[in-house]
Structure 1
Amino acid sequence: MQQSVFVKNNINIDLENVYDVLLHNGLTKYKTKNSKTSLPAQVEAAKQDKLSKKGAIFVVRSKSDFLATGVKGYIITSKETLLEDAAGLTHFTPNIYRKFGYSDENRRMIRGFEEKNLLQINTFVVDIDTKAYSVQEILMACMDDSIGLPTMLVASDRGYQVYFVLENPLFISNRREFRGLTVAKRISDNLKRSLKAVEADPFCNDFGFFRLPKADNIVWMQLENTYDMATLINWSTRFDDDLERPLFVVPSKLKATSVMDSEWFQALIHAVDIKGEKGQIGRNNTMFTLALVCFSEGWDKARTFDFIDEYNTRLRYSLKGADLRSIVESAYSGKYKGACKEYIEALLAIHVHKGQSIKVNFGKHVWYKFKKEREDRTRSHYEEWEQDLIQYITAENNLSEPFIWRTQKEICEAIGIPQSTLNQIIKVSKKIVKTVTGKGRNAKTGWSTVSLFIQHALNLLKDKKARYREQLIQVVKEWTDILEPVAGYDQLMTYLNQLIFNPDRQEHLNLSFNKFG
């Protein structure tokens, strides 16, 4: 009997059957130790388990367990354990990994969920990070624009996740440069592209963590509706033809023509825990780097802003829209020709798991940040170095305060300036503002420009005037009924209106209400 149902009360869901269909035979059926199943059943299951390779999945108890330094969770190797623990879990990897372990002595931080460590792919999952569309609308999009009805639809806090489960798992090996993984990634990419009408996230990790299907979040399912790889490849090939993209099944030894296809670029756009701290490059620099890539790829400014804005919405600590516009404007100012390799390497090392091992290359592009190679400009004019420093401070600036906080060493490394030259610029520059707070180890150095500092002061004054005007209007509203019968009311109202529309006269607000009775 086909199990196709819009789930409301979730009382008819057999989770054991769901996990059997989803995970195939990637995990052992029962625990190897302390199983609650009868011994004869364990022995029979063990015989069946030996017929295929087994791996593990990774699980977490809370979305907050996805940390900037890694993932806090644990490893599950049996379906019995998954069923017992499901109620207390939020996310899992529905695809199976061959190697797994912990990166700390307390066995809290998990490791091994890299794509090339996949043992088998069980399902493709498309993330729709909005609830602007109903379940029916998503299903219609799957039928009209994609490969067909999904196997399952799972609700998340902010949207839905669409599961297209494979009829038989795709086993991954390193033969022919991970050709199977390459094919699977293209299929995953096309599934996400095909559901753009319901705002599918095109940058969602293909084979990472997703919501664990449970009785309280499965909103639609048809477990018999699975897909074989041949069908998916044929559909994906036709979809590629429509997009005029080359066949993806033929490995190429040529470098990617687009930097956006590179491993380092994909790693950055999937790093959602970037925040940055005082003295550490973070969100602003990441977005500036991504914007420079878009600029170098020939995107127009509006398209780049939409791209950066989408990335910003996925960040756990997002920036304000005004900050995004400032970043994009700076990237398109014409002062930069591309991203700085050293910056990219630093961002990967700080914010991407094992990012220091990712190679940064630009394919056929040769990018650099400055007008000339630094080795040819060791003794550049001070005015040129000063302009480089101003550009860096402006790009890093946050509208909420006029200063960025960096050590002199970090400034020197960021723009490639000798420290002796930096000291000289600070002495003679009339455009750079530097301040130091605290003493000794607690000392912090702030950097700004005269322009940024003045703009910040004007913004504060503007806010102050706006608050003053609001308060004055409130006073007028509250006292109108009381003062209207009083002699001199008209003169008072005229004076107050002058203050409301000309806050610069607020210093004259030392009125004596005595003369008005």
Structure 2
Amino acid sequence: MSMAICAFSEKKTVEELEQIYKVVLHEGITTYKKKHSKASLPTRVAAEKQDRVHKKGAVFVVRDKDHFTVNGVRGYIVTSKETLLEDAPALTHFTPNVYRTFGYADEGRRYIHGFEERNLQQINTYVVDIDTKKYSVNELLLTCMDDSIGLPTLIVESTRGYQLYFALQQPFFISPKNDFRGLKVAKRISNNLKQSLQAVEADVFCNDFGFFRLPNATNIVYAGLENVYAVGSLIDWSMRQDDNKDRPLFVLATKRLASSVLQSDWFNALIHTVNINGDKGQLGRNNTLFTLALIGYSEGWDMERTENFLDEFNARLEAPLNASDLHTILQSAYSGKYHGPSKEYVEALLALHVKNGESYKVSLGHRGWYKVKKAREDRQRSHYDEWETDIVEYIAAQKQMTEPFIWHTQKEMCEAIGIPQSSLNVLLKNSTKLIKTVTGKGRASKTGWTTVQLFITYALDLVRAQKEAYTAFVHQIIEEHVNELEPIAGYHELIEKLSSLKVLSDKNNPSFSSLAGSG
């Protein structure tokens, strides 16, 4: 039985905390300080030799919850477990997962920066926030066993509730390869862990890999250090959870339909809701504005248009956000880190804030479930294929039945697709699927756009229509002049030839049978 199951309130010794930090942090930071370490020289030499085997990063620490401010996070950087152990009594929060680059945002070295998800070096543990104390520790443990992955490694008490640590057997290293594919896997595991603990009101919207309560000598109410989880087992468990919800692992909005989300009932209801605040643990005003900014981004709007839209929506709110924070949200939405809004977040916002008694089916347009590819700006050539597909689908959606071309200026086509004009010129030069034509000159000129497939279909339809018209014309001539034509030599052979060419048939030429028989 683990060391704290029998004594939830027992104060932890330095040795026990040292073991806890070792399990939670793995080898992500050094064991001892490089300078002024209290460890003996032989111990430091042995530890440094072992530390060289693994890449090292840093964790961020905060002394007080109030140091999370709108201007940034006041704290400092820790690169050794020895420092963390010494400073633990004076700290409240830390990042249990290790970051690869780190620094201070100001000359006074008061504000820290670098703790964003894409800067993660390794994930050591998942932490689930329970923002209430209505459940006992035993109830939390039973729920973990019955509804989730299993018993947690630690339960840390906070002022408002508990935080459950699920430590990994080995670190889950995050690579920027494949558009941070590993990070997306890790975030899905985190989401499924939080979803599995809804019976004890786990905070689904808590940051997956941010700051959490630092385990210290007095706030650990449960410790089962043998309860650690292999990454592979967590992925398998998470995939089973996804199967139950019928949602694949990766999602990427790849194409836009002509029917935009801007015309949807749910979007209209959301933008006409003015009393959006949001309590702790709930999605509120900031999340709504961020979601709307992502919608503008996914619709292909430029940043200025989205900013005007957000300003108008924000001004209607009962408690509007200040201009500076609104601009920060806009910058984040257009940072390129996000492909579009989250369907789950939209559904949560509607459920929490739209109180008109209606339920809405949320659709974010044509979404395909694929393994995530690199962002367009990170690829050399493959983005031309995506743009080509976008243009083909756009032309097909806009085309009139009477002709294969749609008539747009090149600027209008660029704005509709969201492609730079220089890239469109390169695409047209190399495309085997697109046709562009210009008629007229100067201001009277028009630019037509179609696809090879649409043009071929149109040409075949035109030939077919002309053939049908010609057939009808020949049939009419023969029917009207059959008496004059019968005596002419070769008439019988002509009728047979026209019949074999499907220009005439027995059905369409009542006189054919008798003529054929008189030869």
Q: In the TM superposition, what is the alpha-carbon distance from 1:158 to its structure 2 partner?
A: 0.5
- Name the aligned partner's letter for residue 9 of structure 2: N
Which residue number in structure 2 is paired with residue 202 of structure 1? 204
- Name the aligned partner's letter for residue 225 of structure 1: N
In structure 2, C-alpha distance between the alignment counterparts of 1:177 and 1:213, rounded to whole Å: 33
Any idea what the Cα deviations from partners look like across 1:10-59, whole Å, max 9, x if unmatched?
23551000000000001101111111112222111111110000000000
Q: In the TM superposition, what is the alpha-carbon distance from 1:354 to its structure 2 partner?
A: 6.8
Which residue number in structure 1 is paired with residue 68 of structure 2? 66
Unaligned runs of 5+ in 1: 258-291, 320-326, 332-337, 367-517
Which residue number in structure 2 is paired with residue 44 of structure 1? 46
Which residue number in structure 2 is paired with residue 11 of structure 1? 11
Any idea what the Cα deviations from partners look like across 1:417-473, whole Å, max 9, x if unmatched?
xxxxxxxxxxxxxxxxxxxxxxxxxxxxxxxxxxxxxxxxxxxxxxxxxxxxxxxxx
Any idea what the Cα deviations from partners look like across 1:349-400, whole Å, max 9, x if unmatched?
555597486358767969xxxxxxxxxxxxxxxxxxxxxxxxxxxxxxxxxx
Which residue number in structure 1 is paired with residue 226 of structure 2? 224
The Cα RMSD (Å) is: 3.7
Partners of 1:141 and 1:198 within 8 A in 2: yes
In structure 1, C-alpha distance between the alignment counterparts of 2:179 and 2:30, rounded to whole Å: 29
Which residue number in structure 2 is paired with residue 119 of structure 1? 121
Within 5 Å, give how 1:92-107 maps onto structure 2.
Answer: 92-107=94-109
Which residue number in structure 2 is paired with residue 468 of structure 1? none
Q: In the TM superposition, what is the alpha-carbon distance from 1:341 to its structure 2 partner?
A: 2.2
SS where residue 177 of structure 1 aligns? helix
Larger radius of gyration: 2
Any idea what the Cα deviations from partners look like across 1:268-312, whole Å, max 9, x if unmatched?
xxxxxxxxxxxxxxxxxxxxxxxx9993197899xx999x56x32
- Name the aligned partner's letter for residue 163 of structure 2: Q
Query: Which residue, 259, 267, 288 being the options, matches 1:296?
Result: 267
Within 5 Å, give how 1:110-189 maps onto structure 2.
Answer: 110-189=112-191
What percentage of residue pairs aligned between the two structures are identical? 52
In structure 2, C-alpha distance between the alignment counterparts of 1:26 and 1:80, rounded to whole Å: 13
Partners of 1:6 and 1:219 within 8 A in 2: no
* Residue 251 to residue 218, structure 1, CA distance change in 2 (3 Å): same
Which residue number in structure 2 is paired with residue 254 of structure 1? 254
- Name the aligned partner's letter for residue 206 of structure 1: D
Partners of 2:12 and 2:218 within 8 A in 1: no
In structure 1, C-alpha distance between the alignment counterparts of 2:99 and 2:133, rounded to whole Å: 31
SS where residue 164 of structure 1 aligns? strand
* Residue 52 to residue 253, structure 1, CA distance change in 2 (3 Å): farther
* Residue 89 to residue 174, structure 1, CA distance change in 2 (3 Å): same
* Residue 256 to residue 232, structure 1, CA distance change in 2 (3 Å): farther
In structure 2, C-alpha distance between the alignment counterparts of 1:51 and 1:26, rounded to whole Å: 11
Query: Which residue, 279, 287, 291 being the options, matches 1:312?
Result: 279
Within 5 Å, give how 1:254-273 maps onto structure 2.
Answer: 254=254
Q: When the two structures are superposed, what TM-score results if normalisation uses the length of structure 2?
A: 0.54
In structure 1, C-alpha distance between the alignment counterparts of 2:265 and 2:132, rounded to whole Å: 25
Which residue number in structure 2 is paired with residue 266 of structure 1? none
Q: In the TM superposition, what is the alpha-carbon distance from 1:5 to its structure 2 partner?
A: 1.4
Query: Which residue, 11, 22, 25 being the options, matches 2:24?
Result: 22
Q: In the TM superposition, what is the alpha-carbon distance from 1:254 to its structure 2 partner?
A: 2.5
Partners of 1:55 and 1:119 within 8 A in 2: yes
Q: In the TM superposition, what is the alpha-carbon distance from 1:347 to its structure 2 partner?
A: 6.4
Which residue number in structure 2 is paired with residue 358 of structure 1? 335
Q: In the TM superposition, what is the alpha-carbon distance from 1:174 to its structure 2 partner?
A: 0.7
- Name the aligned partner's letter for residue 254 of structure 1: T
- Name the aligned partner's letter for residue 296 of structure 1: F
* Residue 146 to residue 300, structure 1, CA distance change in 2 (3 Å): farther
Partners of 2:253 and 2:339 within 8 A in 1: no
Q: In the TM superposition, what is the alpha-carbon distance from 1:141 to its structure 2 partner?
A: 1.1
1:341 aligns with 2:306: yes
Partners of 1:60 and 1:92 within 8 A in 2: yes
- Name the aligned partner's letter for residue 10 of structure 2: N
In structure 2, C-alpha distance between the alignment counterparts of 1:168 and 1:294, rounded to whole Å: 47
SS where residue 220 of structure 1 aligns? strand
- Name the aligned partner's letter for residue 229 of structure 2: Y
Which residue number in structure 1 is paired with residue 489 of structure 2? none
Unaligned runs of 5+ in 2: 258-262, 293-298, 312-322, 342-362, 366-519
